[in-house]
């Protein structure tokens, strides 16, 4: 089965957790987009109603608008019933790395405001330990690029400024991203705290203790993992 089909299956399984009347966080990326589209279709065919959604990026907002999904903000709706989002790595305890799509800051804000965060992914995202495949993206104020990069290197990261189409990648909040490559992360909580302590760091892509479930699609079926 092709990867795109697995992404769609995981996302559509997650959408079944949404009930009419809910405030829904819409994630970002090539997996989460299938959830946005499924919500749009269900609103159109009447199987869901009275949904209002908070997009986690400008790209997701544009997709939601295409499907005429009513949008709101955290200012108007500070409590989100359920958020469905993708991930770059999923550890056995459902801690995840996010942000290769560049939306980690808004994603983490929406996840933190959510009663339930459901991660959707294909099986390639499962890892035995965080930091083995994906870098940890760190969103940084441009003014602080060099001191933050040097600080992250002192934590044993190989630090790479994110570039897209030949240009420094700029997030929806006007910041840069430093991708931090580790050879596996022993203590993700300690690393997260250390990264946050550095002035100029806005947020990092370690989403620890946040996901309630991960819905993972593989060619032999879908697994729903639940946080203990
Ligand atoms: C965006 C993200 C994405 O959810 C993550 O990168 C996974 O993306 P994809 O589903 O395209 O693999 O965190 O900031």
Q: Which of 33, 89, 98 to mutate to test the pocket of ligand 1 (most atoms within 8 A of CB)?
A: 98
Domain check: are 213 and 190 in the same one?
Answer: no
User: Token match 């869901």: residue?
Assistant: 48
Both 150 and 64 in a single domain? no
Could you tell me the distance, in angstroms and rounded to a whole number, from the CA of residue 162 to the centre of ligand 1? 15
In this predicted structure, what is the pLDDT of residue 1? 74
Does residue 93 sit in the same domain as residue 161? no
pTM over 0.95: yes
What count of other Cβ atoms lies within 10 Å of the Cβ of residue 55? 27
Same domain for 21 and 97, yes or no, is: yes
* pLDDT given for residue 176 in this prediction: 98
Instruction: List, as own/partner pairs, every contact residues 162-166 make where C-beta atoms lie below 8 angstroms and the sequence separation is at least 24, other chains included.
Output: 162/102, 162/137, 164/102
Question: Which of 125, 126, 95 lies closest to 111 in space, CA to CA?
Answer: 95
Provide the CB-side half-sphere exposure for 134 (13 A, CA).
Answer: 23
Catalytic annotation present for 65: no
Low-confidence stretches of the chain (pLDDT < 50) are none
Atom of ligand 1 nearest to the CA of 27: 4
Domain hosting 25: range is 3-127+208-226
């Amino acid at each position: 089965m092709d990867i795109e089909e697995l992404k769609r299956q995981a996302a559509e399984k997650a959408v079944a957790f949404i009930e009419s009347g809910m405030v829904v966080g819409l994630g970002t990326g090539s997996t989460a987009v299938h959830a946005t589209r499924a919500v749009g279709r269900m609103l159109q065919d009447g199987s869901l109603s009275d949904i209002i959604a908070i997009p986690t990026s400008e790209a997701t907002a544009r997709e939601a608008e295409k499907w005429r999904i009513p949008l709101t903000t955290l200012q108007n709706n500070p409590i989100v019933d359920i958020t469905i989002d993708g991930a770059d790595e999923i550890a056995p305890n459902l801690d995840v790395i996010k942000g290769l799509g560049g939306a980690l800051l808004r994603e983490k804000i929406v996840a933190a405001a959510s009663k339930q965060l459901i991660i959707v992914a294909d099986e390639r995202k499962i890892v035995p330990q965080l930091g083995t495949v994906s870098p940890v993206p760190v969103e940084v104020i441009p003014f602080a690029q060099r001191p933050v990069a040097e600080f992250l290197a002192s934590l044993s990261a190989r630090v790479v400024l994110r570039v897209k189409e030949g240009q420094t990648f700029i997030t929806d909040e006007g910041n840069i991203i430093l991708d931090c490559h580790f050879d596996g992360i022993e203590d993700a909580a300690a690393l997260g705290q250390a990264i946050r302590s550095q002035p100029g760091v806005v947020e990092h892509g370690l989403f620890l203790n946040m996901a309630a479930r991960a819905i993972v699609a593989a060619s032999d079926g879908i697994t729903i993992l639940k946080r203990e």
